[in-house]
Structure 1
Amino acid sequence: MTFGTYLYGDGQIEINAGRRTVKVEVVNTGDRAVQVGSHYHFFEVNPALRFDRDKTLGMHLNIPAGTSVRIEPGGTREVELCEYGGTGRLVGFSGLLNGSTVSHPARIEAFHRALELGFQGARAQQDAPQNPAKKKGAH
């Protein structure tokens, strides 16, 4: 066995089954390659990456755990993201969202922080979009 080899059982393996997914095109506007790990909150990745951040709040790369995606300087890449499982509470990363992905005030604050800190693809808005996974009337 070689270090880093994946050993799988028989049959198909499905990751992130049943979770909402979205594809976004990402452009690296910086002068250095950027590597993003499988579970990093994509909304909060490197500010030099330009993409529609509105679509990515509460999402991470839809790739196997422990793997990553690399985007070269000036490069463009389409990535597929999926929703986080669990309670939707995210803390850390770049400090844009420190709370629940379904909390409307936390979402609005995350969008404002991204804009203030110069994250590419962040847009000024009066109101952040509601989480599409949240049902109307749900608390």
Structure 2
Amino acid sequence: MRPGEIIPAEDPVPLNPGRPRTHVVVVNRGDRPVQVGSHYHFGAVNPELEFDRPSAWGKRLDIPAGTAVRFEPNVARDVRLVPIGGRRVVPGLRWEFAGKLDEREWEPTDPELAKPDPSEPAPSKPAPSEPDPSKPAPSEPDPSTTEPDAAGGSSS
């Protein structure tokens, strides 16, 4: 054996041996392709992907590590899912789905995955000149702590 030499196994390495598998048919209802990586929590993927989300809760794609599946717009694709292993904790990705998978269940009324009704008006945001009541008001700089700049004005 030489340093850095790779000696592959004679037989193929099985993918997720003994893990239960779930099949789901996925259709991308968006207008752009969506790519999902091998370790992403499939129950929390892009809301434009249409499939049986409750059956995907706590699962990921059954594909080799470091690979991904691309979902083209309006094309149905059958994929296999396997349970997320280890401690079954999703550390982030989409914050609203982060946490211990076994301590919560799929919530079908989750607003992040509910598609907006096109007949409903979009929520309005305050105009830039209006203060946002949910945010603290900005504080004015204290003139006694500012120093004059090179042009004779003040800077903070």
SS of the aligned residue for 1:82 comes to strand
Cα RMSD after superposing both structures:
1.8
Q: Which residue of 2 aligns with 1:39?
A: 39
SS of the aligned residue for 1:26 comes to strand
What displacement does 1:26 show? 0.2
What displacement does 1:79 show? 0.4
Question: Is 2:92–2:99's contact at 8 Å kept on the other side of the alignment?
Answer: no
SS of the aligned residue for 2:43 comes to helix
For normalisation by structure 2, the TM-score amounts to 0.64
Q: Does 1:80 align with 2:90?
A: no
With a CA cutoff of 8 Å and minimum separation of 6, indicate the structure with the bigger relative contact order.
1
Q: Distance in 2 between matches of 1:25 and 1:81?
A: 11
For normalisation by structure 1, the TM-score amounts to 0.71
1:72–1:107: structure 2 CA closer, same or farther, 3 Å change rule? same
Q: Which residue of 1 aligns with 2:150?
A: none
- 1:93-112 residue CA offsets vs partner (Å, 9 max, x unmatched): 22232221211xx325xx26
Q: Distance in 2 between matches of 1:73 and 1:61?
A: 19
Residues 55-70 of structure 1 mapped to structure 2, 5 A cutoff:
55-70=55-70
- AA at the equivalent of 2:113: G
SS of the aligned residue for 2:105 comes to helix
Q: What runs of 5+ residues in structure 1 fail to find an aligned partner?
A: 1-6, 121-139
Q: Which residue of 2 aligns with 1:137?
A: none
Match of 2:112 among 113, 117, 137: 117
Pair member with larger Rg = 2
Q: What runs of 5+ residues in structure 2 fail to find an aligned partner?
A: 1-6, 116-156
- AA at the equivalent of 1:116: P
- Percentage of matched positions with identical amino acids: 40
Q: Distance in 1 between matches of 2:45 and 2:88?
A: 17
Question: Is 1:48–1:119's contact at 8 Å kept on the other side of the alignment?
Answer: no
1:74–1:101: structure 2 CA closer, same or farther, 3 Å change rule? same
What displacement does 1:119 show? 4.5
Q: Which residue of 2 aligns with 1:97?
A: 97
Q: Distance in 1 between matches of 2:64 and 2:111?
A: 32
Question: Is 1:97–1:107's contact at 8 Å kept on the other side of the alignment?
Answer: no
What displacement does 1:118 show? 3.0
More helix by share: 1
